Amino acid sequence: MSNKEFNYYINGKKSKWEVIIGLEVHAQVSSNAKLFSNSSTKFGADPNSQVSLIDAAMPGMLPVINKFCVEQAIRTGLGLKAKINLNSVFDRKNYFYADLPQGYQISQYKYPIVGEGEVFLDMPYGAKKIGIERLHLEQDAGKSIHDQSPTKTFIDLNRSGIALMEIVSKPDLRSPEEVAEYIKKLRSIMRYLGTCDGNMEEGSLRADVNVSVRKVGALEFGTRCEIKNVNSIKFIQQAIQYEAKRQVDLLEEGKFIDQETRLFDTKKNETRQMRSKEDAHDYRYFPEPDLPALRLESNFVEEIRKKLPELPDDKKKRFVNEYKISSYDAGVLTADKETSDYFEKVAKNSDVKLAITWVSGELFAVLNKHSLSIKDSPVSAENLTKLILLIMNNTISGRIAKDLFEIMLKDSRDPKVLVEEKGMVQESNIGELEKIIDKVLQNNQDKVSEYKSGKDKLFGFFVGSVIKESKGKANPALVNELLKKKLS
Amino acid sequence: MLIYLHLPLSLMSINKETIKKISKLARISVSNQETNRLEKDLNSILKFVEQLNHLNTDKITPISSVSNEVLTMNKDEIKIINEKEDILKNSPEKNEDYYVVPKVIE
Amino acid sequence: MTDLCKLTLVESVQHIKEKKCAALDLLNSYIKRIEKSDKLNCFNSKDLDTAIKKAKSIDEKKDFSKILVGAPIAVKDLFCTRDVKTTASSKMLENFIPTYESTVTQKLWNEDAILLGKLNCDEFAMGSSNETSFFGNVLNPYRLNNDNLVPGGSSGGCAAAVAANLTSATVGTDTGGSIRQPAAFTGIVGLKPTYGRCSRWGIVAFASSLDQAGPMTKDVKDAALILDVISGYDEKDSTSANKPKTSFLNSLKNNVKGLKVGIPKEYRVENMPEEVNSLWQEGIKILKEQGAIIKDISLAHTKYALPTYYIIAPAEASSNLARYDGVRYGFRAEGKDLTEMYENTRSKGFGNEVKRRIMIGTYVLSSGYYDAYYLKAQKVRNLIKTDFDESFKDVDVILTPTTPTAAFKFGEKSDDPIAMYLNDIFTVTANLAGLPAISFPIKFNKDGLPLSLQLIGKSFDEQTLLNTAYSIEKEVNFKSQVKDWWM
Ligand SMILES: [Mg+2]
Ligand SMILES: [Zn+2]
């Protein structure tokens, strides 16, 4: 498998540098209501229409935690093979910002709900383990809108109070590619679990990226910078590339790196220091006095564990063993849960090899072309299964199957019906086939003589011509058999 | 009435620079005159609270609450439909849809 | 006709239930007094028109079944009241009108009590003399040779209003003594329930782990009745306790035989005025005579309670008051950018004591100081609580004075925060340990000022506190000597 070598280094003018990356991923819990209030989390609502008195931090309002969000954090922790802490504590992180109504964010600091865990990445140079430092629950802030007035900022608190899981990795990532794989893997695990929809365009998944550099071979970490709130994999990769280069240039000029918070300007493709964060932050964390500690019964956790679905790594292993397919194919087919479900439905009821060919071939091509997700696939797993069965029982040829598939993209009726209606059934009647063969041989007498005088290669030409003459319907196996007899 | 003013030497004391720093953190601007008074008041409060340094608490567990309550949890239900009018009602700068603040530059 | 305003709450409700007077009669007699009592400055706002409507509707419906039917009640201006201005006595909330009702006050109105208005207090409940209110000092109905005295704080308006018969009863809040100390200064009963007994939902927060609402009343029976109404589990407050509901009033009994009463030696502080010491001895004597068993106990960490409090309360307050930023409600001062708007708003919107506490709280939580101050205080809080836990293995209640002195003059302590803070020296321990405590008047000192004792009880054992206070109350027969000098 490891036919390639890891090779992400920054070549400075003086030395070769390694990039050290750690990620703080903020994943929005897929819940109906917010973490500490009963208002909706639905995306795209009118401004400030999903804000309760609690979310707006009116005087005297108190938080009450949403049990489902706690369960989702535990599920996610279990999916990351992490330690679930039966005692955890909510803290207040104090800072002022226009879209932070309470003047503090309720988060978890010293005692997070989930401790250390791990995630495995399939890299071209082998499997790589990325350590998870912790996962904690916290509230999201609102949204500041800067572009509607030249002198004012508008505040929409619809997001305020939505539950986030902050997943903190160890500084184990070494390249933009690994970071991309890591995020995809996290997203895949959470989608399998149903704990986060992973939708980066809607902000359900954002990352703070910690970047530092050190000379290859050095043991100590360099000073890191945190790039805040980057919300696409592409931008995260670009931000890392830019930031690593910036740090190398500074260090090679003999300058120091300031530990600071930066933001990524997607238009200029550069990171820069955040102006609003100029004064050093001192969050004055302390235990949230409005919420008793979160004490969990081990039974509560075990019940959740029992209900965990099969996760991508396990499913991939099973696919390799059960369907005897390559690790690569298994990886592709299990990358997201819907695809793996789709594939299994087809494979279980038809033929594994054909299922792989059709799912990762024709189907993926169509989905990619129209950027559709598999759950919006125009061809259902049932119908694709039926199509493969039609091939297997010789009702249609492989060639016809492709035409049929094209029709199925627009017509969701049973493929059997379509085949009959469009007269696509494979011709297997020997009498009929012989007629066609005779006609082809008749029209190509010169080639028949050449063949008989030893030009074996022409056999393919006869097969092709017969199939063409039958408008693709002739059963290729039968054509072969009959032609051989006729030409001998 | 001087009851407990057997005070230890202060371990730390607040100077004007610290006052400035705290006032920044707390988002409360203080005039120079106020700084002088605060310096005096805060130092006397700190001196007072530093009596705690007489106690050895190495083996003591900190408690943040005296409540023995177990954290009660809500169901994941939407009960708040749209309180926009209520939450915007008292806002200092009126706008139908948003809270409005001076321009923020990130 | 009897002066209806002199009736206790229990008697007032009884009057209405027995149709001895109409709800409107009772209300009107209070309104008359209130209108002649502006000099005391008890009210931040009055809601008398709505009160009259409500009284009329009670009389019209002729349904007098509710527990507080027709009782005219003003509440501390820290409880959010729907459509009625709620200011916390701060410029910051000068014009704030909640669209919601606090759980505690809602429970009062559910029992057909009538809101008179909102009572003055120290700004955001931070003070012990009601001198920090943006709306000015409240005067104590008791005076010292025609000199005005503080009513105590922070529930100073509540205490003065009850003592001056401007409300049949009230609810205040107590974070370090804010119910009990002003109750003591004005000769009324004040009860701080166990932390978690009453919901904090809808109360402007000062220090979340210490705040608790409670009754301030003319006598012990009234306190039991108010507690019956306002206590109980609230799913909107995660720190509220889910305890079975009983009636404190119905269980009230005048019997302390065999009751074990602890006398903590650490409360015998240096320089304690003789009148306070003899008051304490008097309380001990009465209990002994009634068959209680007196035990000397030790609460070794008592002297660390105030320093602990003055770390924990400001720390929590610095965070609780961060929401007053001029963005969504309340006062806003302009600024050229967001930060300047914040700094101007909070500088001009908060008074000096509030700013002082926010600054201290910010400091003790800030990086590098957290362990030395905040964490240390949390540990000492544990020691203080453990002292009580140990003592309550041997005794049922603890008897102490409520305050180290009687009410004092305006300005006497307002220049020295520490001198002011020492007012709460006997009351603050109950807040740190989350325990219930009651203050009730015993007698007058040589200057004619009320002096009170405090009982501290076991967690959720308000009943024993009420019973014990009730027994002593019966014996001492304290009678108000308020002389209506302001009218
Ligand atoms: Mg971060
Ligand atoms: Zn976070």
What pLDDT score does C436 carry?
A: 98
Residue C338 CA, ligand 1 centroid: distance in Å? 22
Contact between C319 and A65 using a beta-carbon 8 Å cutoff: no
From C178, C414, C459, C471, active-site residue: C178
Domain that holds residue B36: 14-53
- Contacts for C140-144 with beta carbons within 8 Å, 24 or more apart? C140/C185, C140/C186, C140/C407, C141/C40, C141/C186, C141/C482, C141/C486, C142/C185, C142/C186, C142/C187, C142/C407, C142/C448, C142/C449, C142/C450, C142/C481, C142/C482, C143/C485, C144/C407, C144/C409, C144/C447, C144/C448, C144/C449
ipTM over 0.90: yes
Asked if the structure places residue B33 within a domain, the reply is yes
What pLDDT score does A347 carry?
A: 94
* Closest ligand relative to A166 C-alpha: 2
Contact between C238 and A282 using a beta-carbon 8 Å cutoff: no
Interface check C335 vs B, CB under 8 A: yes
**Fold of domain A430-487:** Arc Repressor Mutant, subunit A (1.10.10)
What pLDDT score does A103 carry?
A: 98
Provide the whole-model pTM.
0.92
Interface check C379 vs B, CB under 8 A: yes
Contact between C271 and B49 using a beta-carbon 8 Å cutoff: no
Interface check C467 vs A, CB under 8 A: no
Interface check A290 vs C, CB under 8 A: yes
Beta bridge partners of A58: none
Shortest Cα–Cα distance, A94 to chain C (Å): 7
Shortest Cα–Cα distance, B89 to chain C (Å): 8
Interface check A63 vs C, CB under 8 A: yes
Report the candidate in C230, C172, C189, C76 with the shortest Cα–Cα distance to residue C438.
C189
User: What is the number of structural domains in chain B?
Assistant: 1
Band (B106; pLDDT cuts 50, 70, 90):
low
Token couple for A345 = 């439905």
Q: Which residues on C lie below 8 Å from A284 (Cβ)? A: 318-319, 362, 365-367, 370
pLDDT profile of chain A (488 residues), mean per 10: 78 94 98 98 96 97 98 98 97 96 98 98 94 98 93 96 98 97 96 95 94 95 93 95 96 93 91 68 95 96 97 95 91 91 95 93 92 92 95 85 93 92 81 90 90 88 89 84 87
| C-alpha to C-alpha distance for A319 and A340, rounded to whole angstroms | 9
Interface check A145 vs B, CB under 8 A: yes
Asked if the structure places residue B6 within a domain, the reply is no
* Closest ligand relative to A261 C-alpha: 1
- B40: helix, coil or strand? helix
* Closest ligand relative to A208 C-alpha: 1
What pLDDT score does B94 carry?
A: 81
C358-375 per-position pLDDT tens digit? 999 999 999 999 999 999
Q: Which residues on A lie below 8 Å from C365 (Cβ)? A: 94, 284-286
What is the pLDDT of chain B when averaged over all its residues?
Answer: 87
Token couple for C381 = 């809080």
What pLDDT score does B1 carry?
A: 38
Our answer to whether residue C303 is catalytic in this structure is no
Q: Which residues on C lie below 8 Å from A60 (Cβ)? A: 79-80, 98, 102, 200-205
Residue A26 CA, ligand 2 centroid: distance in Å? 6
Sequence spans of domains, chain A: 17-303, 310-422, 430-487
* Closest ligand relative to A23 C-alpha: 1
List of domains in chain C: 4-260+393-476 (3.90.1300.10)
A88 upstream amide cis, omega within 30 of 0? no
Q: Which residues on C lie below 8 Å from B67 (Cβ)? A: 195-196, 209, 239, 241, 434
Identify the CATH number of the domain in which residue B19 sits: 1.10.20.60
Asked if the structure places residue B18 within a domain, the reply is yes
Interface check C332 vs B, CB under 8 A: yes
Task: State the DSSP string of C180-225.
Answer: HHHHHHHT-EEEEPPTTSB--TTBPPS-TTT-EEEEEESSHHHHHH
**Average pLDDT value for residue range C113-121:** 98
User: Backbone dihedral region of C309: left (phi > 0), alpha (psi from -120 to 50 degrees) or beta?
Assistant: alpha
Asked if the structure places residue B25 within a domain, the reply is yes
Task: State the DSSP string of C282-295.
Answer: HHHHHHHHTT-EEE
Question: C-alpha C11: how far from its chain's center?
Answer: 22
Token couple for A368 = 């990619």
Interface check C205 vs A, CB under 8 A: yes
Residue A109 CA, ligand 1 centroid: distance in Å? 12
What pLDDT score does A280 carry?
A: 62
| C-alpha to C-alpha distance for A385 and A396, rounded to whole angstroms | 14
Contact between C236 and A56 using a beta-carbon 8 Å cutoff: no
- The chains found to touch B (3+ Cβ pairs under 8 angstroms) are A, C
pLDDT at C440 over 60: yes
Beta bridge partners of A163: A139
Our answer to whether residue C89 is catalytic in this structure is no
- A436: helix, coil or strand? helix
From C128, C129, C154, C155, active-site residue: C154
C201-248 per-position pLDDT tens digit? 999 999 999 999 999 999 999 999 999 999 999 999 999 999 999 999
Interface check C338 vs A, CB under 8 A: yes
Our answer to whether residue C178 is catalytic in this structure is yes
Asked if the structure places residue B7 within a domain, the reply is no
Q: Map tokens 């932050």 to a residue.
A: A281
Vertex A254 angle, CA A252 and A257, to 5°: 90
Asked if the structure places residue B92 within a domain, the reply is no
Interface check A321 vs B, CB under 8 A: no
Q: Which residues on B lie below 8 Å from A289 (Cβ)? A: 64-65
Asked if the structure places residue B100 within a domain, the reply is no
Contact between A60 and C102 using a beta-carbon 8 Å cutoff: yes
Of A327-331, A474-478, B39-43, B74-78, which range is least confident? A474-478
Percent of chain B with pLDDT over 70: 88
B5-36 per-position pLDDT tens digit? 444 444 568 999 999 999 999 999 999 999 99
Shortest Cα–Cα distance, C233 to chain B (Å): 11
Distinct helix (H) and strand (E) counts, chain A? 16, 17
C316-345 per-position pLDDT tens digit? 999 999 999 999 999 999 999 999 999 999
| C-alpha to C-alpha distance for C72 and C476, rounded to whole angstroms | 28
Partner-chain residue, chosen from B65, B76, B101, that has the shortest CB–CB distance to A155: B101
**Average pLDDT value for residue range B50-64:** 94
Alpha helices by DSSP H, listed for A142-202, are: 176-193
Side by side, the strands of the sheet bearing A91-94 are A104-107, A91-94, A286-287
What pLDDT score does B5 carry?
A: 41
